[in-house]
Amino acid sequence: MTRGHGAPRRRIATSLAIAAGLAGVAAPAARADTVDDHLARVRELYDRRDFVHARDELLAAYQLEPRPELLFALGQVELNLGRFAQAIDYYERFIATEPAADQVALAQQGIGAARAGLAEKPAAPQPPPRPPHRQWDTADSALAAIGGATLVAGAGLTIYGSHLAGDHSGRLSAYNDRVSHATISEWVGASCVAAGALAIGGAVLRWRLHLVDGEIRPIAAPNAAGVTWTGRW
């Protein structure tokens, strides 16, 4: 709701009262849908803040009987609908009917409020919030690359170790030495493979969990506190 609308809202009752007073004096009793009927529905709609239908009822009433007060009431409804130019038009047409001075003052106030509304920039329509989505970032790439390199190196060491241990040539002492080296190589290699796999897995996990545009809301309750993270998984 824009600022400056409080006073016109209060004054609508006055304008409707003006219109109702007029209707009470001049309404033809024989018509099925009289101006008073329209004005009664306007009051209900206005209370429900259904300004669109209230405007329709006022226009219908004005067609039946173009009372000046109805112009003021239309100005108020257009003001509430944010159609400031139309509101000014109705207020000015009302003033042109040369109402009483206090009513002119009220119309002038309405015009002022409408002009203030016109002067404001229209609020940019809020784009729908972007759904949260995963993002593969540089850190993920670096982690995956390091993991991949480690994994490949580990696999190489493991294969090398197996090759060493599979070489049964020469004497037992030479074989013992080879097996020692092979064991170290295979342990280091397997560790590297495991570490590399874990790093790649970490990158994938990080990518899976790294949701951007998620919504974080604090929770505050008499007996609980925390944060909810709303995102899509």
Partner 1 sequence: MTPASHALGALAAAALACLAGCVHPDYRCVSDHDCDVGEAGRCGTDHRCTAYDPTCPTHRRYSDHSGPASNTCFDDQVAPANVCAAGQPPATPDGCAASVCQALPSCCTAGWSEACVQQAQLVCSDVVCDTRIAITANKPGRSELWDLRWDGAQWIARLDTRQSVLAWLAPEPGTVAPRLAGFSASTLAFDGGSIPTAAARNYLEATSVDFDRDGRPTVALGFSDAAGPHLEIAKLDDGASRVVASAAATRLSWGDVDHDAFPDGIAEAGSGARYHLLSNIEADNRSRQIDDRVSTTVAGGTSSMVANDPPAVRGFDWIDFDGDHQLDVVVYGYTIDIHPGKGEAIGTTFLFRIDCDPPAAANSCDAMIQADHAFAGASLPSATGPALILATHPVRALYRGEVRGTPAAAVLSPYAFPAEACGAGCPPIIAVAVRDLDGDHQLDVIAIDGDLQVYTSLATDHLQLHPAIKLPTAPAAPGFLVVRTSVSGAPRSR
Output the smallest distance, CB 195 to partner 1, in A. 9
Chain contacts with partner 1 (rule: CB under 8 A): 151, 154-155, 158, 161-162, 165, 168, 170-173, 175-176, 179, 182-183, 186-187, 189-190, 193-194, 197-198, 200-201, 204-205, 208
Q: Which is nearer to partner 1, 173 or 223 (CB)?
A: 173
Write the single-letter amino acid at 220: A
Of 118 and 174, the one with the shorter C-beta distance to partner 1 is: 174
Tokens encoding 35:
């101006």
Q: Which is nearer to partner 1, 208 or 232 (CB)?
A: 208
CB of 82 to partner 1, least distance (A): 50
Q: Which is nearer to partner 1, 10 or 168 (CB)?
A: 168
C-beta closer to partner 1: residue 59 or 198: 198
Find the shortest distance in angstroms from Cβ 214 to partner 1.
20
Is residue 107 a contact partner of residue 75, using CB atoms and an 8 Å limit?
Answer: yes
What's the longest Cα–Cα distance across the chain? 128
Q: Which long-range contacts (CB under 8 A, 24 or more apart) does 143-147 make?
A: 143/199, 143/200, 143/202, 143/203, 143/206, 144/199, 144/200, 144/203, 144/204, 146/196, 146/199, 147/195, 147/196, 147/197, 147/198, 147/199, 147/200, 147/201, 147/202, 147/203
We find the least distance from the C-beta atom of residue 231 to partner 1, in angstroms, to be: 17
Looking only at the bridges linking them, the beta strands covering 224-230 and 215-221 are antiparallel
Closer to partner 1 by CB, 7 or 142: give it.
142
Q: How far is the CB of 6 from partner 1 (least distance, A)?
A: 56
* Least Å from the CB of residue 141 to partner 1: 15
- 6: Cβ contacts below 8 Å, ≥ 6 apart: none
Residue number, 167 or 213, with CB nearest to partner 1 = 167
DSSP reduced 3-state for 20 = helix
Task: Tell the smallest beta-carbon distance from residue 187 to partner 1 (Å).
Answer: 6
**List of residues 6+ apart from 99 with CB closer than 8 A:** 68, 69, 72, 107
